[in-house]
Structure 1
Amino acid sequence: MRATLRWAHSDLRRHRGEALFLVLATAGIVASLLLATALFGYATNPWQRVFTQAHGAHVTLHTTAAADAGRLAGLDGVESVSGPYPTASLTLASKGGRASVELRSTPAEPEVGRPLITSGHWLDPATPGGVVLESRLARALLTAPGDTLTVPGSARRLTVVGIADSSEPRYRPGERPGLVWALPAAVPEPVGQVVGLRLTDPGDSGYAVQRAVTELGAGAIGEVATWQQARAEAQGDNRLLGQVLGLFGLGALVAAGFAVHGAIATRIRGHLRDLSVLKAIGFTPGQVVRVFLVQHLVYALLGAVAAAALTEALGGAVPGRLGDAVDVWQGLPGHTAALFAVPAGAVLFIGATTGLAAWRAGRVPPVPVPRPAAPPAGRLTGLARRALGARVPPALVLGWHKAFGRRSRSLGAVARLTLPLLLIVVALSAWTTIDRFHSSPERMGMPTALGVRADASLDDARARALLERDPQVAAAYPGVEVAALVPGQTATIALRGLGTRAEPYPYTLAEGRTARGPHEAVAGQGLLDLLHVRVGDWVRMTVGERPQILHIVGRSIEPENAGRVISTSLDTLRAGDPDLRPSRYQLRLEPGADPEEVAARLASAGRGHLDVHTVANPADGLSPLRAVVLGLIAILALIGLIELLTAIGGTVREGERDLLALKAIGLSPRQITAVTVTATAGTALVAMLLAVVLGLPLAHWLIDAQGRSSGIGAGIAQGPSPLLLLLLGTAAVLGAAALAALPAARAARRRLADTLGAVA
């Protein structure tokens, strides 16, 4: 045991930097995996908790005011019903903010879909003008219990008496109105009603919608929302962040395992004589294997324990969503198990890769095998000899030959270094894609910056004149949006009519062409997946009692409504309904215009008749991803550094036997140093080229796959700029050369007696 400890201690002293980097890299990998676990729990649990406590509805139906929605309670598979509750659409204002809301007449607290009061209290007949706001809507309006809300354009006032969490789809500016519960006296003129269905089989929501449409008629159904949609919306960006952290964490773990494997294999090749001596003095193969295995398991264990301790103690203090995720995760039932399982899994994986490499050390024979006089890669290739004849500096030729002369070892070293560099290229692509959402939103499905809803008192001509009067409004596109039942009547989608044939809306197309003729439309990826159609197909949907048949001629990048959107021109919708008038406008601003300032001016000019909001950018919720990407790049850089140190150590040790020959042919110590530096830099250069060639297509595939799964659609991936890739490659090559310079210079200046001892 004493001899084993002395060997491990001696090895640690010789490779302190490598040991430190391995501990740090393991800590970063385990921390990223723990944060990914926390984000997955945070994405699912809050909504699931609210849904369970609220006894949430599996299907929520918006119907006309005349529909007999009470009949739905008798449908097969319906366990219980909430409502029907009369509803009205309003615009509420508070502290300079505005929001479109659904005012829901609720005489008593519902049993199904019960709002969970987080502050204040439930509706009280003593306050007939009191309302309870859904929590996200309350945050958007900056309101709290006791505040007063106004209805623009009228003298009406509502008093906030409570804030509540709801399991229904939440408020999204410009897409979904906020939910407000009120007493019947506060909803004097309802225009519709809503009913919630609790099913005996939650997975049967599609069939339940079909039965409801059959019972009430397609014309009675306005909009349908299922619990699956509400859950997906609630998870939102948190799940994406968790996927990114998990993917890169696992990739970094694999890269770290390969780096450890390569380090041990290189060390074994450099210490064959020492290992033979250990065998000769009585070490068993198992003891030799344990020396390497235990040593690297200790490194991995130190990093994993440090990561788990820091995540547990300080994770909640991280500002923003990551800190919130850790706080919620620490209160979940599976938190303790995950806190032990994730670090243990990482340590076991590193242990497995260590064991595979250490097993070779156990097979070293106790009697040293003489090294061959001429290794297989010892002879120069014809290309190398021609390069020397062409007076290419010998250091460059011999360095390149040393790096790639032994094909199997060269490929292994390049592959191990390529993996972390490839993941860095993928991370930079994710960063660039997020930046493109902000810098060039028109290329990412957001050609307009503002959305406007006009009330019924403004006709189209007056509304457009009012909007286009602002000097920073480049164009105002009139439009309407209605809910349409899909074929099979299992769900609703958003049917939009935007722009006219004379002034078409500038959709961002990823496939096909724009809709120019009658009955032509473009659709989002979410709709294509929902209906199992593709560009070129015809689709039939139902708007009220009226069928609408459209020809999908293009696929647009659609960030809203999970991509379940089909868009055509306003003229096409007016052909089926001549009385249709625009109810919304999308505004394209002049370059450099501030959307917030323009929105404030238009709201003021509208005098309560315009509800102006900025178009939501899906990248706004991904701001924590920037810090995540930086942290992952740092972890991957540490892993790459480990591999470089391994490659440098192996190159220097293998170069000791060539030192006498190089000096004999007249190379100076500086030239001998340049041989090793060239070999290391050449390995880094080839690895970087492979990382770019393989990493860019991989990044595009991963980002577009995520875009397809979220409904936005493929075509959003953006690679890093050539300048950034050039800087990354230059840093990798120059960094490798700088790391190799000092050990190579020391080896080149060794005394001849030392060299003879090394090769004996």
Structure 2
Amino acid sequence: MRATARWVRADLRAHRGEALFLVLATAGVIVSLLLSGAFLAYGASPWQRVFTESTGAHVWIQTTAGADAKALAGLDGVESASGPFRTAVTTVELDGAKARVQLRAAGAEPPKVARPLMTEGRWPEQEAPAAAEAAAAHAPARAAAARAPTEGPAGTDSADRDTAGAADGIVLESSLARALWAEPGDMLHVRGSDGIAHALRVSGVAETAEDRYSPGRTPGIGWVLPGAMHRLGTEADQRGQTIGLRLDDPEDTDFAIQRAVTELGDNQIVSVSTWQQARDDAEGGGRLLGLLLGLFGLSALLAAALAVAGAISTRIRGHLRDIAILKAIGFTPGQLIRTFLVEHAALALLGVACGAVLTEVLGPRMPGRLGEAMRLWQALPAHTWVPLAIPLGALLLIVGTTALAAWRAGRVSPVPVARAAIPAVRRMPGTVRRALGLRLPPALVLGWRGAFHSRARSCAAVGRLAVPLLLITIVLGAWTTLDRLEHHPERVGIPAALTVRGDGLDAAAVRRMLADQPKVTAAYPGDEVKALVPGQTGTITLRGLGTDRDPYPFTIAEGRAADRSHEAVAGQGLLDLLDVRVGDWVRVTVGGDPQVLHIVGRSIEPEEDGRVISTPLDTLREGDSTLSPGFYNLVLDEDADPAAVAAELSSGADGRLDVREIPNPVQELSSVRGVLGGLVTVLALIGLAELSTTIAAGVRERRRDLLALKAIGLTPRQIIAVIVAGTGFTALAAALVGTVAGVIASGWLIDLQGRSSGIGAGIAQQPPVTALLLLVAAVVAGAVAVSLLPASRAVRQRLADTLGDSL
């Protein structure tokens, strides 16, 4: 053991820089893997916790008001049910902020299945009969007070105090409460079918495992008492029922929906949603970040393992004589293998420990979603074993790779074999002969020959160095894609910047208001309805947007745009769901009425996981001639500020227009930029470690050549140039291979992720040519700079020092 320790200590002193690079690279890999685990937990675990604690429903079915929804609770395979609840969809307002909400008439106690988990406040209390009658009688007076103008904050506070005691209570789902900036005690205002504004006091905020609130797509959820629902008097066409079914088999959702449609009839089913859809919606960008970091982390771990294996193999070749002597004096093959294994396992253990400690200590203090994800992860039960399993798995992989490389040390013969005094005559490569004929500098010619004289070793060195460069190119591709999609949202299917909804205004009035705004380039009318897919197993979004004369500028990735009646474009998620392709016909059911559409193109669709089929609004009007636009999508001038235009439209319409910016899903991934920069640093460290190994191998293999070069009169500078040129050619070959393969792989991986997420392929952007050229130039320049010091040391060696290399 003492001899092994001395050997390891001497070897580390001789290769300090390479050992430091390996430790830093391993630590960076562990940080990346742990952050990916945190983001995966951040994406999935909050929803899973809420679903488990609330005894969530696996299927939610929205029916018409007259359907016998209660009968669905007795279907085979249904374990229990939540509801049915009477529902009404309306618009609530708080301090100018508006949101669509589905009100549910719940009892005095929260339901046992799909129970809302109260995070703030309390559940609405049941009113006494006398109090309820008094509240109903004074409803007009409260509504008048709610919409009466006030002269300042003092007046507003007074009005709220006057109505707080008599207003009905409502519990808001947490995402809806965040959108409205609502807290317990705030007063919401909702206008009933009679035109009278009613006040609702926020009594609490609750979490649920259902679909989250999404402006313009999915209404939020609010729970009220049955008496409050009756007093609101909402529009008849906005009323319905909803019931949640908890199944014996959670994966049996499609069959359960089919039985529900058979029981009630497809004309009684308005929409359906499943727990898988709610989970995917809740995971959002956090899961994507986790998968992205996990992919890069595992790839970087593979690159680090290859770098360690290359370093060990190079050191073994450089210590063949020493290993033979150790065997001759009594070292066993197992002891030699253990020597190399212990040294590199210790380096890997140090890097793994540093990475794990840094992530655990500094991770929660990181800004933005990184710190939030780490703090949440540390509070979950899985955090007790995952931070140990990930570093342990990485350590085992590195140790396993090290053992395979160190095994060669045990096979070295105890009697060193002398090289032939006169090597076998080999024909000079044609490339070298032609280079000499062109009178190129001898340093370049000899450097080229030194870099590629052995095909197997040269290819191995180029391949190991090309792996981190390939990953860096993929990172550059991801960075470029995120940057262009953020600054050019029309490439990700978002040509419009704003969506406008009229609050009680007819279509003509809304169009006049939009026409008065000079920064609005175009206003496209649209409407959305929920439709049942063939087989009645799921709900998709059927969107009418634009008209036949003025079609909406969809981002078409395949096929063409819809410009005729009953033509449509669909997202990748819908094509996968229905197992159809561009050119097929599909039949969907809207409120019991079938719609047959011809899919003529695939659009880049970032909403609803791509499960959207879009057609001109004229096609929807063929089934309902009275259909009016539910919203308008506005395309602005290139230099227009969406926030400023939205403020001008709202102020010019006296609050009668609900104007919102259309969110860009790429913005959810903005926090990944810093992580990608860190990954580039980690990969650069791995590349430096591999480069130092390549330089050491080149210097060792050229020692006999140095004697000959000195003997024929080459100056020390020329000899240094030979070694540096050989390293530069190796780095150049690796950079070209890595960047070319990285450009191909980055486009394929990004499009694969887009296809699997439902957005669709066609969003990948290749890195700029200038960036790739700078990367290649930086790699070659770095290789030349790093090799100068070892080359100068080799030249300063005395001739007698290298005579032993003949063995």
Shift of 1:376: 7.3
**Structure 1 letter corresponding to 2:787:** A
Aligned match of 1:301: 349
State whether structure 2 residue 528 is matched by structure 1 residue 527. no
State whether structure 2 residue 687 is matched by structure 1 residue 640. yes
Once the two structures are superposed, what CA deviation does each residue of 1:244-284 show, in whole Å capped at 9, x if it has no partner? 11111111111111111111111111121111111122211
- Pairs within 5 Å for 1:213-612: 213-373=261-421, 380-455=428-503, 457-612=504-659
Change (3 A) 1:377 1:321: farther
3-state SS in 2 of match to 1:334: helix
Change (3 A) 1:282 1:205: same
Take 2:425 and 2:213, find their aligned partners in 1: how far apart are those partners?
68
Aligned match of 2:114: 113
Shift of 1:298: 0.4
Moved more, 398-407 or 619-628: 619-628
Question: Contact (CA 8 Å) 2:167, 2:201: kept in 1 or not?
Answer: no
Take 1:648 and 1:165, find their aligned partners in 2: how far apart are those partners?
59
1:170 pairs with 196, 204, 212, which one?
212
Question: Contact (CA 8 Å) 1:91, 1:611: kept in 2 or not?
Answer: no
Aligned match of 2:249: 201
Question: Contact (CA 8 Å) 1:128, 1:185: kept in 2 or not?
Answer: no
Once the two structures are superposed, what CA deviation does each residue of 1:607-631 show, in whole Å capped at 9, x if it has no partner? 3432221111111211221122111
Moved more, 440-449 or 206-215: 206-215
Take 1:651 and 1:230, find their aligned partners in 2: how far apart are those partners?
57
Aligned match of 2:57: 57
Question: Contact (CA 8 Å) 1:175, 1:560: kept in 2 or not?
Answer: no
Moved more, 462-471 or 87-96: 87-96
Take 1:700 and 1:425, find their aligned partners in 2: how far apart are those partners?
11
Shift of 1:192: 2.1
Shift of 1:606: 2.9
Question: Contact (CA 8 Å) 2:605, 2:759: kept in 1 or not?
Answer: yes
Question: Contact (CA 8 Å) 1:648, 1:680: kept in 2 or not?
Answer: yes
Shift of 1:721: 1.0
Take 2:423 and 2:188, find their aligned partners in 1: how far apart are those partners?
85
Aligned match of 1:10: 10
Aligned match of 1:670: 717
2:780 pairs with 723, 728, 733, which one?
733
Shift of 1:374: 6.0
Aligned match of 2:34: 34
State whether structure 2 residue 728 is matched by structure 1 residue 681. yes
Work out the percentage of aligned pairs sharing the same amino acid: 61
Once the two structures are superposed, what CA deviation does each residue of 1:371-409 show, in whole Å capped at 9, x if it has no partner? 244667975312211211211111111111111110000
Question: Contact (CA 8 Å) 1:377, 1:405: kept in 2 or not?
Answer: no
3-state SS in 2 of match to 1:753: helix
Moved more, 363-372 or 283-292: 363-372
1:161 pairs with 190, 194, 203, which one?
203
Question: Contact (CA 8 Å) 1:95, 1:142: kept in 2 or not?
Answer: no
3-state SS in 2 of match to 1:114: coil
State whether structure 2 residue 173 is matched by structure 1 residue 134. yes
3-state SS in 2 of match to 1:161: strand
Question: Contact (CA 8 Å) 1:519, 1:551: kept in 2 or not?
Answer: yes
3-state SS in 1 of match to 2:10: helix
Once the two structures are superposed, what CA deviation does each residue of 1:524-560 show, in whole Å capped at 9, x if it has no partner? 0010011010101000011112110000010000000
Take 2:698 and 2:682, find their aligned partners in 1: how far apart are those partners?
25
**Structure 1 letter corresponding to 2:8:** A
Once the two structures are superposed, what CA deviation does each residue of 1:433-471 show, in whole Å capped at 9, x if it has no partner? 11122111101111111112224x322222122123212
Take 2:291 and 2:424, find their aligned partners in 1: how far apart are those partners?
46
Moved more, 458-467 or 678-687: 458-467
**Structure 2 letter corresponding to 1:476:** A
Shift of 1:95: 4.2
Take 2:334 and 2:248, find their aligned partners in 1: how far apart are those partners?
60
Aligned match of 1:86: 86
Shift of 1:429: 1.1
Once the two structures are superposed, what CA deviation does each residue of 1:74-132 show, in whole Å capped at 9, x if it has no partner? 22222222222222223333345332222222233222211101011111245642211
Question: Contact (CA 8 Å) 1:377, 1:406: kept in 2 or not?
Answer: no
Aligned match of 2:790: 743
Shift of 1:156: 3.5
Question: Contact (CA 8 Å) 1:595, 1:614: kept in 2 or not?
Answer: yes
3-state SS in 1 of match to 2:101: strand
Take 2:471 and 2:709, find their aligned partners in 1: how far apart are those partners?
38
Take 1:261 and 1:335, find their aligned partners in 2: how far apart are those partners?
31
**Structure 2 letter corresponding to 1:118:** T
3-state SS in 2 of match to 1:170: coil
Once the two structures are superposed, what CA deviation does each residue of 1:585-605 show, in whole Å capped at 9, x if it has no partner? 111111121111212222223
Take 2:98 and 2:725, find their aligned partners in 1: how far apart are those partners?
64
Moved more, 182-191 or 435-444: 182-191
Question: Contact (CA 8 Å) 2:268, 2:591: kept in 1 or not?
Answer: yes
Aligned match of 1:73: 73
Once the two structures are superposed, what CA deviation does each residue of 1:647-682 show, in whole Å capped at 9, x if it has no partner? 011111112111122223332211211111111111
Take 1:621 and 1:372, find their aligned partners in 2: how far apart are those partners?
65
5+ residue gaps in structure 1?
none
Shift of 1:197: 1.4
Aligned match of 2:183: 144
Shift of 1:759: 4.5
Change (3 A) 1:603 1:409: same
Question: Contact (CA 8 Å) 2:77, 2:256: kept in 1 or not?
Answer: yes
State whether structure 2 residue 729 is matched by structure 1 residue 659. no
Question: Contact (CA 8 Å) 1:173, 1:616: kept in 2 or not?
Answer: no
Change (3 A) 1:97 1:446: same
Change (3 A) 1:454 1:264: same
Question: Contact (CA 8 Å) 2:349, 2:395: kept in 1 or not?
Answer: yes
Shift of 1:366: 1.4
Aligned match of 2:139: none
- Pairs within 5 Å for 1:92-103: 92-103=92-103
Question: Contact (CA 8 Å) 2:418, 2:806: kept in 1 or not?
Answer: no
Moved more, 64-73 or 93-102: 93-102
Shift of 1:67: 2.0
Once the two structures are superposed, what CA deviation does each residue of 1:329-359 show, in whole Å capped at 9, x if it has no partner? 2233332222222111111111111111111
- Pairs within 5 Å for 1:688-699: 688-699=735-746
**Structure 1 letter corresponding to 2:535:** G
**Structure 2 letter corresponding to 1:140:** A
Take 2:368 and 2:395, find their aligned partners in 1: how far apart are those partners?
29
Take 2:252 and 2:222, find their aligned partners in 1: how far apart are those partners?
28
**Structure 1 letter corresponding to 2:311:** A
Moved more, 142-151 or 748-757: 748-757
Take 1:376 and 1:408, find their aligned partners in 2: how far apart are those partners?
19
Shift of 1:321: 2.3
Question: Contact (CA 8 Å) 1:376, 1:406: kept in 2 or not?
Answer: no
